[in-house]
Each structure stands twice: as C-alpha cells, then as structure tokens.
Structure 1
Amino acid sequence: MRELPYDRLKAYEGQPVATAGAGKDLVNEPMIRHWCEAMGDANPAYRGPDAIAPPTMLQAWTMGGLSGHTDRSGAYDELFGLLDGAGYTSVVATDCEQEYPRPLRPGDRITFDAVIESVSERKTTKLGTGHFITTRMEVRADGEPAGTHRFRILKYAPAARMTKAPERTAAAGETEAAEETEAAERSKAPGQPEARRPRPVINRDNAGFWAGVETHRLLIQVCGGCGTPRFPWLPGCRGCGSPEWHTVEATGAGTVYSYVVMHHPPFPAFDPPYAVALIELAEGVRMVSNVIGVPYDKVRIGMPVQLEFLRVDGEWELPVFRAGGGVAG
C-alpha cells in the first residue's frame, strides 16, 4: 500500500460516471410486486390502478443487471484502477442517501446522470486504510426529476489479520457464557490492540430497541393501527401506514428460520467460520443474530433457540440465541 497524492484523487470529483443513462425497463408492476414480496411490504399504495413504486426502489430502475451498462464513462474505472494500483484493492459499501421529489409509476421511462461527487482524504478504519468515494445519481422519469441517489463506498487496503487463537473443541451441550465471550474476543493477539466489534448505528427510530437490550429486554414494535408486530423498528407501519405504536417484550423463544456460514471475508473481532442465522421469534417476527452453544456446522433450520444477552468488549450488550431453547409457539 502506498499513499497517493490527494490532489490527484480529488481531480476526479465532478467527473461523470454516466451521462444520459437509460433504465433497461419501464417502471413496471411485476418488478414492484417482486420487490414488495421480498421486503414483506404490503402497503396498498403499491397495488391497484393508481399504484406507485416503493420510493426505495429508486436505484433498482437504473441498474444494469448481469449484462451491465455500456454507456458508463471511464472516469470511475480510472479512479478504481489508480486505487487498486496503490494497494487499495478491497471495497465495501458504507451507506446511501436518497431523495424523492416525485413518485414513480408503472410506465415511467427512467433516465439518469451520475457523477463522482467526492473522494475523501485517506482514512483509517477498523477494516483498513483507504478512501471514501461518493457518487451522486440524478434520476428522471419521462424527463422530470424523480430522485437523487448518493452511494458511498470505502476503497481500502485490508488491515492485517489478527493472529488466530488455537481452535477449541466445542463439547455437545456446552453452556458456559464465558465460552462465547472468549470467541467474540478471540482476535486479540499479543502485542496488538484488541479488535472490537462494530457498534450498532443507533438513531431516533431504533434507540428504544437498544435501550431495551441494555436492560436485557428484547422489545418488538406493535402497530397501534392494525396491531401488526414488526422488526426491525420503523417509524411507521408498512402495512397500514400508522405512525402509532407500542412495544411488547419478546419471550425469547424462537427457531432458526434460515442461516449461512460465513467463511470470507475475514473481519477483525470475528473468527470464521461462524453461523449467522435468521431467527423466527414466537411473536411472529424475524431477526438476524448468532446461534451459540453449538459448533457452526451443527446449526440447522428448525432448530429451537432461546434468547440470551452477550456482553461484548466489556461495554455493551448483544442479543444472541442459544441452541436448544424452547420451541416457538
């Protein structure tokens, strides 16, 4: 990895990524339906003769699919090539921001322009050292402004992998919470700083959830309009649109609805391979968490689990699920 002159990177700001790009399909009802089914969004505004597209689909109408777009400028590829050559070979998406001046409706023809809005100075993060690159896309529907999409990535050189501690054999039925705490902090190595888990992004919409976790309570929102439970926390109901809600405390019983085993990429404070599961709670909502108490290769769909709280880095609590708990009712 070598440091690049910042003025050389900054020169790419304002350069086009795409000019007069065109969406491959008109805004259409089948894609809206597939999106809503995948997201579990039953808002009636997205159905019927006066349907609009979910606003957060904005980027979907501009994507090139497997064949990609052929009208992209060379500036973005040049910038990536420059960073690759300096050793910043990894990339991770960090966040996006969208604005919606007008709703999209079936039949709208989408066009767009995109520019490299900003390239940050070199930053050091837990993942590694690199530069944040922000692109801004202006989306039009039949020539009218319909949305702005800012997308930010980190192009970085990965931090050195922490020395892996000797592997331990997990005994069947192991129940000591200290074992999971040790696994969470396993990336600590002599002479190197302790790797810390990423902190959750806490905002005004989900602060109540994390306040509950801090006191060992898993709180689920319940819509004050239609009574539908929901997770993760949202400012309003995606079913009836009501902004009113209250909370109920989950019993903690659940089952593994689905899971994946993470092998790559490695991150500090995580020791692959490990299982990441989608847990279906007895209250009817699902959440992503870790399954503890069994080796990663013993996690199975339908496995009963029970909520526990794991102290992480000695300062905050994390909800996890222990295999062998009560079956969700």
Structure 2
Amino acid sequence: MSGTTTSDHGSHDHGSHNHGSHNHHEDPLHDRLKSYEGRANTTAGRGKDPVNEPMIRHWCEAMGDAHPAYTGPDAVAPPTMLQAWTMGGLSGHADGPASAYDEMSALLDAAGCTSIVATDCEQEYLRPLRPGDVITFDSVIESVSPRKTTRLGTGYFVTTRMDVRAGGELAGTHRFRVLKYAPAARKPKEEQKPPLRPRPVINRDNAGFWEGVAAHRLLIQRCTACATLRFPWLPGCNACGGQEWDTVEASGDGFVHSYVVMHHPPFPAFDPPYAVGLIELAEGVRMISNVVGVPYDKVRIGMPVRLEFRRCDEELELPVFRALPGTEG
C-alpha cells in the first residue's frame, strides 16, 4: 500500500498561499533559522502502544469508515492513522533535553513571533501497518521559509518531517507545517475591511475539485478499476486501493444526512448561529457544506436540498446547499 495524502489544518484562512515575502538576504534572523534545517528534532522516538485493534476500531467509528480491510485476522490500520501511533497523548513522551525545534521556537519567540498556527500536513504511505507492529520514529526540521507577511501577521513557515517505522522498516512519512508569526496590529474598527471567508488550501490531491467549482461543476472522483465513487478527493481508492481515477459530475440533488448548528466560537466572516450539514448526494457520497435558504433552527435530517454556488467575495465561490421550498422543519 503506497500513496500520499494531504490535508489542510488551516481551515480558517491564514493567507499561506497569498502572502508577501521579504528579501531574506536582509533578514539575519532567517539566516539563523536556516541553520536549523536538517537538524534532528526526535531521534529513535517510540510509540506508546503497538498498532492495535481497539485504536483502529475507535478511529474507524469516529471516521465512519467501515472498510473490511480494517477488521478481522488480516486487518491493517487505516493509512491516515500514521501520525496517531507516534503521538504522546496528554502525558507526552518522556522528558529529555530541549530539542532543536524547542531551541528554534525560543529564538522565534524572542523575535516577537509568539503565535503559532498549523497550516497543513502531507503523508506518504510505503507499507501497511498491522496490529502488533512496534512503531519508532525520527523527525527533523526540514525547511524554514523566508519571512512572510500574511493576514495574521509576519513570520516564518516551518516544516518538519517525521519518518515512521514499523519493526525498523520505513512505513511512511509525515510532513507538518506551521506558521510561527508576530500578530499583526489591529486597525481601528472603522478602518477595517470586511473580513473574508477562509481560502481553501489547494494541493495536488484536490486541485481538480476546485477547478470544477470554478466552472460551477461539483465533481466526484470515480475509481477506474472498481467504479467506486469517493468524496472528499483522495489519491487512491479506499475500496480497492487503485490509484487511477476519472470524475463524474454530481446532479446537485441531495438531502441532509446530519447537521450541526454553529454558535461558538465566533470567527471573522461568519455570523453565528448557522447550520453546517453533512449532505448525502444522490450519487451516494457525502460532503460537508452550509445549508442555506432556511433559518438555522428549521434544518432537519432528511431535508431535501439542491446544490448552488455562492459567491462569497470577488475571489471566492463555494458550493452550498439550498433547502427546497416548503421542506423546512
């Protein structure tokens, strides 16, 4: 089993793809930060537990993934659990000397970059993990960007890479990127521009989906080996493992499979309370989006909805689902 997947941890826009940069030749701090590239952060770390069936079961229940590969005597762990086996939990891993990452963070703190936000991660899978596998891992500071100016503030994108091994054999890699920044000074309220909705993070795995949105088409991946439809977009089929695919265009019809009403926390560009639905499309896949056209307290499970594309600002258009007239609860 091999493949890659990327995900966005910066679902609230951090400006990571629309930022300015400063000339790093005039940035002595960046020169110091660059000296940390390639330095080990964790060496011979050890997972707190071997790969095990209870953790796999809890993960699959939380994700709603009932694939038979994750149960039975020949079970494997879901590939996206890769990082889970390395995490220290609330008690953390055994204390040791300060790591290179800790030293670099202190340097950034001293320079005023006291805030941090995760932006995205990328994983590569080289072999399946099975119950009983003992997990070890090493991590390094892979790269530090030149100084960047984002809507949150000015700082540096730091990428770490973790190599995860099972029984000493490389099983996968996990890259994690954060922005360590100095918060931007807030303008007086009367000078502030209306806040923008978060920008989607577009990567090699989902670019085709967003190209479809730009053309007012909701595209669903279809495995060319077994014809299984999948959403959200993934680099490989979660039914047969095939990595070749094409797309089908959704009809736009669906119904509310489940929903939540967001009251808190408030966030710029959003006006709570509002309804976020898990929409089951007519094609059988599900996606998360806003339910519009009906008061938030009238949304109901089973409510039929219809796709539309809503322009949020000059640069952003998003797929949402409008409740059909006369169907409110």
Q: TM-score range by the shorter chain?
A: 0.7 to 0.9
Are the equivalent residues in 1 in contact too, given 2:266–2:272 (CA < 8 A)? Answer: no
Amino acid corresponding to residue 239 of structure 1 in structure 2: A
Pair 1:217-2:217 in alignment: yes
* Equivalent residue in structure 1 for 2:46, among 22, 30, 51: 22
Are the equivalent residues in 1 in contact too, given 2:275–2:299 (CA < 8 A)? Answer: no
Are the equivalent residues in 1 in contact too, given 2:309–2:317 (CA < 8 A)? Answer: yes
Q: Deviations over 1:237-279 (max 9, x none)?
A: 3123454555242333422612252644745xx2443536133
Are the equivalent residues in 2 in contact too, given 1:44–1:239 (CA < 8 A)? Answer: no
Q: Distance in 2 between matches of 1:272 and 1:162?
A: 21
Q: CA deviation at 1:203?
A: 5.1
Unaligned runs of 5+ in 2: 1-26
Q: Deviations over 1:209-258 (max 9, x none)?
A: 33443343333345566665432133443123454555242333422612
Amino acid corresponding to residue 104 of structure 1 in structure 2: L
* Equivalent residue in structure 1 for 2:94, among 52, 67, 70: 70
Are the equivalent residues in 1 in contact too, given 2:118–2:178 (CA < 8 A)? Answer: yes
Amino acid corresponding to residue 256 of structure 2 in structure 1: T
Q: CA deviation at 1:24?
A: 0.6
* Equivalent residue in structure 2 for 1:81, among 106, 110, 114: 106
Unaligned runs of 5+ in 1: 165-188
Deviates most, 34-43 or 108-117: 34-43
Q: 1:87 to 1:148 in 2, by over 3 A?
A: same
Pair 1:31-2:59 in alignment: no
Q: CA deviation at 1:26?
A: 0.6
Q: 1:85 to 1:204 in 2, by over 3 A?
A: closer
Pair 1:56-2:80 in alignment: yes
How many residues in Structure 1 have an aligned counterpart in Structure 2? 298
Are the equivalent residues in 2 in contact too, given 1:99–1:148 (CA < 8 A)? Answer: yes
Q: Which residue of 1 aligns with 2:11?
A: none
Deviates most, 197-206 or 56-65: 197-206
Are the equivalent residues in 2 in contact too, given 1:55–1:104 (CA < 8 A)? Answer: yes
Q: 1:136 to 1:71 in 2, by over 3 A?
A: farther
Amino acid corresponding to residue 87 of structure 1 in structure 2: G
Amino acid corresponding to residue 10 of structure 1 in structure 2: K
SS at match of 1:34: helix
Q: Distance in 2 between matches of 1:118 and 1:212?
A: 32
Q: CA deviation at 1:132?
A: 1.0
Are the equivalent residues in 2 in contact too, given 1:17–1:74 (CA < 8 A)? Answer: no
Q: Which residue of 2 aligns with 1:275?
A: 274
Q: Distance in 2 between matches of 1:253 and 1:140?
A: 42
Are the equivalent residues in 1 in contact too, given 2:221–2:245 (CA < 8 A)? Answer: no
SS at match of 1:318: strand
Q: Which residue of 1 aligns with 2:318?
A: 318
Written as runs of structure 1 = structure 2, the 5 A alignment for 1:83-232 is 83-161=108-186, 190=191, 196-202=196-202, 205-222=205-222, 228-232=228-232
SS at match of 1:5: helix
Q: Distance in 1 between matches of 2:327 and 2:232?
A: 22
Q: Which residue of 1 aligns with 2:23?
A: none
SS at match of 2:162: strand
Q: Which has the higher contact order (CA 8 A, sep 6+)?
A: 2
Q: Distance in 2 between matches of 1:87 and 1:322?
A: 45
Q: 1:9 to 1:203 in 2, by over 3 A?
A: closer
Q: Distance in 2 between matches of 1:113 and 1:87?
A: 29
Q: Which residue of 2 aligns with 1:250?
A: 251
Q: Distance in 1 between matches of 2:113 and 2:266?
A: 15
Q: Which residue of 1 aligns with 2:237?
A: 237
SS at match of 2:157: strand
Q: 1:13 to 1:319 in 2, by over 3 A?
A: same
Q: Distance in 1 between matches of 2:327 and 2:234?
A: 27
Q: Distance in 2 between matches of 1:105 and 1:78?
A: 36
Q: 1:251 to 1:99 in 2, by over 3 A?
A: closer
Q: CA deviation at 1:60?
A: 0.9
Q: Deviations over 1:179-207 (max 9, x none)?
A: xxxxxxxxxx65x6675444434456544
SS at match of 1:145: strand
Are the equivalent residues in 1 in contact too, given 2:217–2:249 (CA < 8 A)? Answer: no
SS at match of 1:93: strand
